[in-house]
Amino acid sequence: MQSTSDTSALVHDTSHGLALWNPSVAACWSVVFTPAFGAWLLMRNWEALGEPRQAAIARKWFVFSVGLLVVRLISGALNARLNSQSNLLLWFSWAYLLAWWIAAAAPQARLVRARFGADFPRQGWDYALLLAVAGGIAYQLLSALLGWLLRALT
């Protein structure tokens, strides 16, 4: 197992292919693409930093975030079928985003800033954002399909 100082050297050494997504930027993109997006990126950052315990915690945030998306998907379809609207899940989602930001994103941003300052090898955003947009489109299509199926079958 590598020590923290060895890991720091590896993260600075771009020849090993280790680079990080800026955790503050990942948190901001999570407002658009949900905490699932940011939790996945933070998990990958923790892995690159050689912090398996923190990566496991980030994985739990990711799994819970995906679970929340599934609940929102089902709730949206049921609301469409029942011609109703509930804001409770929306408020919970915003509260969850804030909790994730404070408990998961901010600590990693502080650590990266303390350890590397502004000078750290950065992952490119093109591929991650392309996947996030594709995932968002797929989610919206699935939501529409599920809503249509519930209305058509009942």
Element (H, E) at 33: helix 23-48
Kindly give the confidence (pLDDT) of every residue in the chain, 154 residues in length, as a single tens digit, with 9 standing for 90 and above.
444 444 444 344 443 447 999 999 999 999 999 999 999 999 999 999 999 999 999 999 999 999 999 999 988 888 777 777 777 888 999 999 999 999 999 999 999 999 998 888 899 999 999 999 999 999 999 988 988 888 787 7
Q: What is the pLDDT of residue 81?
A: 73
Closest to 132 measured CA to CA, from 39, 22, 23, 24: 39
How many angstroms separate the Cα of 99 from the Cα of each of 43, 67, 81, 110? 17, 16, 31, 16
Q: What is the pLDDT of residue 13?
A: 42
Closest to 20 measured CA to CA, from 47, 56, 39, 55: 47
Q: What is the pLDDT of residue 76?
A: 82
Q: What is the pLDDT of residue 53?
A: 97
Q: What is the pLDDT of residue 8?
A: 41
Residue 144 identity (one-letter amino acid): A
What b-and-e string marks burial along 66-77, b requiring 16 or more CB atoms within 10 Å of the CB?
A: eebbeebbeebb
